[in-house]
Amino acid sequence: MDILNYLHSISIIVTLDNVIVCIWLIILATILVYLIYKVFKYFFRKKFKIVHMNISIANIGNISIEKNKDISRIAHKAWVEIMTRKVGLLFEEDKDVIVEVYNSWYSLFGIIRDLLKEIEPRKKDKDLEKLENILIKTLNFGLRPHLTKWQAKYRRWYNQEIEKEVNSQLSPQEIQKKYKRYNELITDLKETNKQMVQFAEELKKLV
């Protein structure tokens, strides 16, 4: 009986030792998997290119952003919206109509706002936040100042002028040149427009 009890006790001890060993192996495997994940994530991120941008509009200046899939997606959509509207083309006095330009600029606010809503807060990183801030500043401190200063006053004047009989035979381009502050408005519009075109060129680096 003593021998049987002794053998039974050995069996129990061996079983407990195995359990302890298994637990330690699981812990070590978990740590190893986590470390491999961190190393993989680190080197994977480093594959993305760091883009250096110099944006004149809204006095944004020099800024660096590390590209990733989310940044490239948002930047591409914003770039397409800008370049397919008058805001992404240099203003031509003999061809472009100011109210149409303002319509294009104004609609861009809604498009970019909807685009920013696509960014999931939980996915934000410092570089994605940089792009988000750039787009917001471009609208609020780039386009908005000109629109605030000129749009309402000019639209009211233009809407009155196109109804006048004396202007019935004139083109919209000819009518708009009769605005008493035309040169001042156009100078400001062209400068804002030029900065937006330059911004689009910089934004394309993130695509």
pLDDT digits 0-9 by tens, 100-123: 999 999 999 999 999 998 887 776
Specify if 69 maps to a domain: yes
175 close to 167: Cβ distance less than 8 angstroms: yes
How many Cα atoms are found within 13 Å in the side-chain-facing hemisphere of 154?
A: 26
Specify if 15 maps to a domain: no
Is the model's pLDDT at 10 over the cut of 70?
no
Specify if 174 maps to a domain: yes
Give the span between the Cα atoms of 47 and 72, in whole angstroms. 14
Give the span between the Cα atoms of 91 and 88, in whole angstroms. 9
The model's pLDDT over 164-187, given as tens digits with 9 standing for 90+, comes to 999 999 999 999 999 999 999 999
Specify if 44 maps to a domain: no
Number of domains in the chain: 1
Specify if 14 maps to a domain: no
Name the residue range of residue 167's domain.
Answer: 50-206
Specify if 168 maps to a domain: yes
Is the model's pLDDT at 44 over the cut of 80?
no
At 22, is the pLDDT very low, low, confident or very high (cuts 50, 70, 90)?
confident
How many CB atoms are closer than 10 A to CB 143? 23
Q: What pTM value is reported for the model?
A: 0.74
CA angle, corner 161, sides to 157 and 163, nearest 5?
125
* pLDDT score, position 5: 61
If you search the block for the tokens 């006790």, which residue do you land on? 9
Specify if 84 maps to a domain: yes
